[in-house]
Structure 1
């Protein structure tokens, strides 16, 4: 591979990367002069490596690389990897060319570059074979630098190795005793010190001595710094001085002793340089090499010997030390004052007064000169000694050009480095200057309310206000002269005092009944000269008309939702700062705090939170100390924020897929880097390089990261596997995802990151294909097709052979059958003559039988009672009688005896002729029981009926005939208006007042063998006119028919009777007949049908 080739193929990728880097480089250029920037230290335990790190570089993706003695560390913000070099030489230098290829200089004659292998992993490629044989022995390539024509220059003590166009040329020192030392790039020019000669300029493949730099021949040049808009160069030397070089003129310009310990340097931007010191930490200098920041183990570093410095694309400063790696976030608009500044405890208040910054903490008052000329190491705060010892300070403020502090031991007057107690040693939590009385303050605390006055250039305690007790944290004065006080655990009170301010006149306590969302957790503040209250549900105000608390319309319009505000602070420019308490949505007991700023410009209001996510912890206080400085008090010191910051936190960054593995055998599919056809690193996958994974390895693990190095542990990720997942995952901190049993198909894994500022990254994508199992491949399907064709062919051949044989057999059979048919024909003709004669005889017999049955029908009809007789006793009645055959097994019977009417509907076993015979027996028995024996009791009639049938059909023994009948029988007494009913399986239905009622029958039928005596019961119905009665056999409800050929059913019959009962009897008869005929339609009649109705 030639890493310098095919530059044009990289044009698109380089443009994207260049825009990315240019955007990031213009984001923020100001380094804060006060305090110490945030620092992250990585120990040997973190990266499991060696002590010393000699060089640092970043690739075009943003991945960091570290020359960590015997191997190169690769870091993506989450995971560390190691890149090994054969022979384990010490690695001293890393640099990259215009295409982004990283070159490596090492010891024992080793130099080369990093390349991307076929799995996407970074590997080392040696260039030793490109070196002329007589130049292959050298001790170490201490430095490597990119030349003006994109050549890579490896610096060894005696020889320069220049790699270009896949070849290596060499340049030796002018004298054997001379030594090449350090290379430098200044304003696009390359300078290399040749110790013993001077500073050489490398140009067009040659070295030339820079004018009069023999002065430096025996010095060790450690830094060369171009001065903007000038040909001048500042040159730093080891343990000597800094010299200004101007076209041959040289003079010493800086005697800062720290510069004598410079070991490595890097350009931060056009205004600043960074210098690593040997044994003394790191310095940040301005363009004139004036030290503005000195960072050591005393204020954040883990080791003071700095071997390498590097400024990444985000303007983070990476340093490799003699023991560990550190990153300094110098591009942020805030710095820290904590333990290094003698501030180890929580800070609750702060103020700048007469060039000193005073902070009140949980252990006392600290102060420090805080003008523009601040200490380069951040400086330490001094603690003001208080006679009462350690005290907690809640508020520091200036009144009448004096500094007062409210503390757990009382009110203190602070004067430079001294604090004098004013009044009793009882806690004071807050105080305010009373309107119109600039020499008077009212304080809250352990004594309730206390009054202090300023007289004779000092403050004096006046008295404790009477009629009030309570230790409150906040106090504000309203426009009407009343005072509002609050405390998180005590609620809100409004007090009115006497004109002399010596006593409370009225005291009002406010709770939830007064409109507050909660009695506790409320604070009072004065914003824009208005009294407002922060609560669990947002900001409230007090409506004096209704005497109720209501949501403040102004703040509600700003926040648009209910939020818990615990601090409000109005800055000098009118902007409002607030602290919001937020509960973790997953762990309700866990909470954190966010700082926000409300800005109003051109009539538009917006909330700014993004810059302050860095201080998302215990925010205790917010105080502006100058026009451009804001202090945020935390649990251990404070954070200083530059209000004039122009840093853009929305800077884009990359999410990266770092590794894809097969779970079953941990084999690597993708190592994290994409390359083009020339082997150069690109940011997207080549669409022609889609890996194909065998089906048996369809369980995959994806690992991912993002190149945002500021608190990377707070970065969250979401992902989706196209063709498998239906939606994106939730945001999670986890940086890997496993998928099992993926079906054959093409998939794209997509991941996105979100950093601690809630800025989302660009997506990273990787496409791959899961191949089908062997039995679903094209070859397998082709095989299946061939086998299918052969199978069909075999079946066809077998069928042809079978058909041939069948045809031969058929021919033989046809011949045999033809002979048989001829014989059978003759036999059939003879039989036909016999059958014709028999048929004539059968027809004559059928005609005779039918005539007999019709005669039986006339006998049965004669046996039935006359309808005229029935209509005389029951004027309103109908009889629906439909035999299935010519004669019927159902019959009805009517008689009048002793002033009563006996009426019954009977269903005999069977139908047709057998049924008709049973009906004749039944009719004769009824005549005997009622007319001859004179029995008119319904249950007795059924009992007698059963006895006669058993005897008549000889059913006294088991196994004989089981024939019998079901019946419903009514004994009607019109005079007493009663109907006595008894039934054998068949019920009685009657309808009165529009309500249908059913009288159940006995479960016993009439006739049949019996083991014990049958019991029939009667029921007497007292009716009122009109009442309709219905008796029937089972033929109507059991008739099949309708759309689904089902039984008509008793339920439907009851509904029909209820629907038509009020109609005349003849009309009911017609309707019932039409309904059952329509129901049967093409279905044969199942049974005899009998349905009797009468009205009383």
Structure 2
């Protein structure tokens, strides 16, 4: 039997031992229970001491190492991983202002300034085995060992025994205690009990008669409790000693540990379990008969109100007063399984139908007891109970239906009385006073003559197996069956499922809120019915739980309480309304389970809960009843603590625990790892962080518990990290990490100033040089102007002579003008001839226009046909709804080069846990490629859906053969084919997924989230059809890989990789893989945006080269 199983048995067999308790404190058996054993990571189940440090970590001392626990995971410290330690056996712990001290079986261990140091007998320790450590007002440590008492002087850093009375130097010390006055109480095994005044070095009290002391504690009234072998005593302030009056109520008289909690209750650990003494009342948590020993070694209360009990052989367990109070067989409930809860004949009475008869609860006595009618029941295994408006009690079971009237007269009904079946499951009274009974074979209505009329599917019921009945404000009966809901209204049945499309046939419960909204609890979550339409909240609730066995409205807190198979959860109605209106993506869920006081984490699927007038909701469970007070809903106001536990730069861990952290210069990757500590609800911790000097706003952390920054500019930074719990209680003061990013040589201020001065000096020199050159050019220019003036004068005389020559030439031109006039008349005659020819050309142009218009019409018809082909092609691609069903988070980049694409993507889901996905690149693009894609889709559907072929190698082999046959490639020169990547994704429902890949000239990429690693698998170097068409028997191979929830898969044709830029350079496979790796941590929608942006930036104004398809999805 495992330790976890043993602890579970212990918890189920808790016994209570009560005195008169006016305050009605919750019994230990009603505390929520949790265990830490080797199955949870403890190095051994012997937990000798439990201690909580200021940073809220829980420390567990064991014989096989020291354990640091944050509520979720453990870190074990031992010789193997910690330099300086000399033993695995830790016995006790103490935290002071400057250090943490650990008692071991091989000396005293000090942890300070991140260093471990061991003190042994060589350094003056009186004995290496440490049993107890306490700190006095001077900061000195008093150490109890089997060989006596000594103290460690903090200032002198040495052990001292001088001045200690001889009787304590030689005594076996079992416990030490420092009281409020600073006096040291010493408990020994054989020498007695002592109160020692440290400053005066004398005894204030000595009692040598008390032997075998194991534990000491001083309570708030300054009474000293002394526990030992077969005794528990109290010593008051006047040193009057008395024996604990309730020794016979303890699990064992052998007391091993004592502790006083924050409420003043005394916790008593024994060799057979633990007990709590408060207000003269004892409640015990005792051992099971199968356990030979169950010795309690340590008890402590943490800052969140959990009680931790360390045991000698069975690990540590946690007790906590949760939101729920549970009552079971230990408190008087007659059966473990509670199927139905009903208000009794009076308001202070509650009736429970169990697997062992009826239980009655009375408010006045606060007790559970068997009902008087139990001995007369046909069977004690009951299914439902109802008290009608006439105070009749109706009891449903597998043996029929029983009515007990106010005069205690019983009437039993069977099939002979008209019941649909002797197995009666549900009873209901409508607003007219009619009694309805749901059976496994129909719905029965009690008639005036005392017989039942039964309705079945012949009358309009969806199914004869009745689950529940509900009446709404319009007096309609909602009848839940195994095949959906039937509504009974005005004497007629009609099928609600078919009329309104509720896509969950198994509806456990129907309810109506105060606004008239109908709510359904189903095996597929919750639904609402409003404005004559059904709305599903599937995947619209953060942390969604699939089942919803019953739904209860809490109008006071505006909540829905939903019982399910993992506990009870609440939903804020305002948030549900916002989701319904499209103003909010998801509503938040808060789950209550065994950690919150429920004995059983599952509510009965078919039964009745009860809402009382005092605001208490009673839930029927597999282990008694669990009650929540809606008027007193506790919220966790204690935020988790946050610890920065690791800082790495470029993959190398650096010490971040000094006063100021220096980050080296250059291009760096800074990673800051952190964790939160919550011992109550670690699963509810969420984080946000901000790097002051870089981030403008706080960043909501999403998993990983780390913040990553790259290439930060050189300057001072402050990293802030904060954490909140499930009730959004956040740290008031975020944890800080201050650091400085050093500058490179060229980034230093003095270097930049020198560079700036040098730059301006160069500018000044250049300026002076340019001015000098301009002045020289000005002198040369003046000389040239003088020379040019002289040349102009000489040219003026030449021009005068040329003017006279031009006059003579003008006369010659007049003669030529007369000749041109005659020529112009001749041209006019030729122009008339050309006009005639122009008419003929115009007619020809009209004929061309007519032909062109006809061609445009034909081209439009062809384009419309191609666009229709595109419509057909897109209709064959997987729908968004189908993709969403398979993969909630995914993206698709699908960019045809022409109207019709030669690429296509394909998916089918032949079984619930099996999905096939493919990306395909057909020969060519446009219409030819489009025809090939439609052919490929048709063949793939036929192979998998009709032939039921699920082997990826066989699928590609058959696809290859089919392409060759369809295109008759063996006897022709048709060279068309396709490259293809095919995935088979099989999920086991537990977070593990097996992916099988077979490819034809294609590659698939897998991103493993935990390892932060991108993996690529390459398919076979052969195509489907195409050039290898003569070889039908192509040999394809498959590859399998195991993936976890959160891992990602990417498929792509070669269009993205082969796209060129203006320099004719392709993106290429290497860059494509870098892009995937660099963006894989983003949400799928953000990653798609990055892929499209990088593609557009690379392509620029260049034409698209090929069809582009990229698919990504997250498991």
Answer whether TM exceeds 0.5 for this pair.
Answer: yes
Give how far 1:693 is off: 0.6
Which among 818, 821, 842 is matched to residue 802 of structure 2?
Answer: 842
Structure with more relative contact order (C-alpha pairs < 8 Å, separation 6 or more)? 1
2:101 aligned with 1:107, yes or no? no
1:649 to 619, 635, 651: 635
Q: Which residue of 2 aligns with 1:94?
A: 93
After superposition, the C-alpha distances for 1:306-356 in whole angstroms (9 at most, x for unaligned) are 322221111212233335643414232335679999999975434597999
Deviations 1:337-388 (A, max 9, x none): 7999999997543459799997657xx4467797899999x9999xx99999
TM-aligned CA deviation for residue 294 of structure 1 = 0.4
Shift of 1:94: 1.2
Q: CA RMSD in A?
A: 6.0
Query: Please, which of 162, 172, 177 is the counterpart of residue 184 of structure 1?
Result: 177
Shift in Å, 1:844: 0.9
Question: 1:777 and 2:770 equivalent?
Answer: no
Count of residue pairs the alignment pairs up: 756
The alignment status of 1:567 with 2:550, answered yes or no, reads: yes
Q: Secondary structure at the match of 1:844?
A: helix
Task: Pick one of 646, 653, 664 that aligns with 1:694.
Answer: 664
Is the alpha carbon distance of 1:396 and 1:204 closer, same or farther for their aligned partners in structure 2, counting shifts above 3 Å?
Answer: same
Give 1:75's aligned residue. Answer: 69
Q: 1:66 to 1:373 in 2, by over 3 A?
A: farther
- Deviation of 1:200 after TM superposition, in Å, equals 1.9
Residue 41 of structure 2 corresponds to residue 42 of structure 1? no
Alignment of 1:981-996 (within 5 A): 981=839
CA contact (8 A) 2:468 2:480 kept: yes
DSSP-derived class of the 1:222 partner: strand
Tell me how far apart the structure 1 counterparts of residues 630 and 561 of structure 2 sit (CA, whole Å). 20
CA gap 1:163/1:515 in 2 versus in 1, 3 angstroms: same
Q: Give the match's secondary structure for 1:258.
A: coil
1:390-421 CA distances to partner (integer Å, 9 max, x unpaired)? 97x54333457776443455335799xxx997
What are the ranges of 5 or more consecutive residues in structure 2 without an aligned counterpart? Answer: 1-22, 416-420, 536-545, 575-586, 847-1115
Structure 2 distance, partners of 1:303, 1:166, is 44
Q: Normalising by structure 2, what TM-score? A: 0.55
Pair 1:984–1:715, CA change in 2 (3 A): closer
Q: What are the superposed Cα offsets for residues 201-257 of structure 1, whole Å, 9 maximum, x if unpaired?
A: 2334356556573331x232424453x55x544432223344565633434522235
Structure-2 residue corresponding to 1:534? 519
Shift of the alpha carbon at 1:142? 0.9
1:1040 aligned partner: none
Which residue of the other structure, out of 721, 727, 737, is the alignment partner of 1:766? 737
Q: Which one of 734, 742, 745 corresponds to residue 704 of structure 2?
A: 734
Is the contact between residue 47 and residue 62 of structure 2 (CA under 8 Å) also seen in structure 1?
yes
Give yes or no for the alignment of 1:755 onto 2:725. yes
| Equivalent residue runs for 1:133-144 within 5 Å | 135-144=124-133
CA distance in 1, matches of 2:334, 2:745: 70
Partner of 1:291: 282
The match for 2:494 is 509
Q: Which residue of 1 aligns with 2:451?
A: 462
Indicate whether 1:222 and 2:215 are aligned. Answer: yes
Deviations 1:727-750 (A, max 9, x none): 544453432344444443444433
The answer (yes or no) to whether the contact 1:191–1:199 under 8 Å persists in 2 is: yes
- Partner of residue 825, structure 2: 923
Q: Is the 8 A contact 2:61 2:67 kept in 1?
A: yes
Find the counterpart in structure 2 of residue 320 from structure 1: 310
- 1:960 is matched with none
Alignment-derived partner of residue 55 in structure 1: 49
Q: Distance in 1 between matches of 2:360 and 2:28?
A: 11
Q: Equivalents in 2 of 1:519, 1:132: separation in Å? A: 75
Tell me the TM-score normalized by structure 1: 0.56
Q: Deviations over 1:13-57 (max 9, x none)?
A: xxxxxxxxxxxxxxxx99622644333333336446344332222
Aligned in 2, Cα 1:46/1:735: closer, same or farther, shift over 3 Å? farther
Counterpart secondary structure, 1:77: coil
Whether 2:610 is the aligned partner of 1:623: answer: yes
1:923 aligns to what SS in structure 2?
Answer: helix
Match of residue 423 from structure 2: 427
Cα pair distance change 1:252/1:302, threshold 3 Å: closer
Q: Secondary structure at the match of 1:670?
A: coil
1:632 correspondence with 2:626: no
Offset of 1:768 from its aligned partner? 2.3
Does the CA-based 8 Å contact 2:567-2:603 persist in structure 1? no
Instruction: Name the counterpart of 1:1065.
Output: none
Query: In the alignment, is the contact (CA less than 8 A) between 1:162 and 1:169 conserved in 2?
Result: yes
Q: 2:273 aligns with which of 272, 281, 284?
A: 281
How far the C-alpha of 1:698 sits from its partner, in A, is 2.0
Distance 1:197 1:478, change over 3 A: closer
Q: Is the 8 A contact 1:200 1:208 kept in 2?
A: no
Deviations, residues 905-963 of structure 1 (Å, cap 9, x unaligned): xxxxxxxxxxxxxxx54532544x69xxxxxxx5xx24xxxxxxxxxxxxxxxxxxxxx
Per-residue deviation, 1:182: 0.8
Q: Which has the larger radius of gyration?
A: 1
Distance apart, 1:104 and its partner CA? 2.5
Which runs of 5 or more residues in structure 1 are unaligned?
1-28, 118-122, 455-459, 497-505, 542-547, 553-562, 583-589, 600-606, 675-688, 864-919, 931-937, 943-968, 972-979, 989-1096
- Asked if the contact 2:563–2:603 (Cα under 8 Å) also holds between the matched residues in 1, the reply is no
Q: 834-843 or 695-704, which moves further after superposition?
A: 834-843
C-alpha deviations, 1:507-555, integer Å up to 9, x for none? 24374899998897778878899998434897779xxxxxx97999xxx
> What does 1:635-1034 correspond to in 2, within 5 Å?
636-637=622-623, 640-641=626-627, 643=629, 648-662=634-648, 664-670=650-656, 689-696=659-666, 698-725=668-695, 727-730=697-700, 732-762=702-732, 763-778=734-749, 781=752, 838-853=798-813, 863=821, 921=823, 923-927=825-829, 941-942=833-834, 969=835, 981=839
Contact kept, 8 Å, 1:566 with 1:578, in 2: the verdict is: no
Which of these residues, 249, 254, 257, is aligned with residue 261 of structure 1? 254
- Choose which of 460, 469, 474 in structure 2 pairs with 1:475: 469
Change (3 A) 1:155 1:697: farther
Matched with 1:22 is: none
How far the C-alpha of 1:195 sits from its partner, in A, is 4.5
Does the 8 Å contact 1:535/1:566 carry over to 2? no
Match of 1:202 among 177, 189, 196: 196
Q: Are 2:443 and 1:444 aligned?
A: no
2:296 is the counterpart of 1:306: yes
**CA contact under 8 A between 1:754 and 1:760: conserved in structure 2?**
yes
Alpha-carbon distance in 2 for matches of 1:114, 1:72: 12
Q: Quick one: distance in 2 between partners of 1:984 and 1:479?
A: 84
Name the CA shift for 1:349/1:570 in 2 (closer, same or farther; >3 Å).
farther
Alpha-carbon displacement from aligned partner over 1:404-458 (angstroms, at most 9, x marks no partner)? 443455335799xxx9974245332321346687xx843232453435699xxxx
Residue 561 of structure 2 is matched in structure 1 by: 579
Between 722-731 and 838-847, the greater mean CA deviation after superposition = 722-731
**CA distance in structure 2 between the aligned counterparts of 1:104 and 1:780, rounded to whole angstroms:** 52
The 5 A counterparts of 1:475-494 are: 475=469, 485-487=479-481, 489-494=483-488
Aligned residue in 2 for 1:397: 386
- Cα distance between partner residues in 2 of 1:372 and 1:330: 25
Query: Which of 111, 116, 123 is the equivalent residue of 2:113?
Result: 116
Corresponding residue SS for 1:247: coil
Q: Is the 8 A contact 1:273 1:285 kept in 2?
A: yes
1:240 aligned onto 2:231 = yes
Secondary structure of the residue aligned to 1:473 is: strand
C-alpha distance in structure 1 between counterparts of 2:751 and 2:330, whole Å: 73
User: Structure 2 vs 1, CA of residues 795 and 575 (structure 1 numbering), >3 Å: closer, same or farther?
Assistant: closer
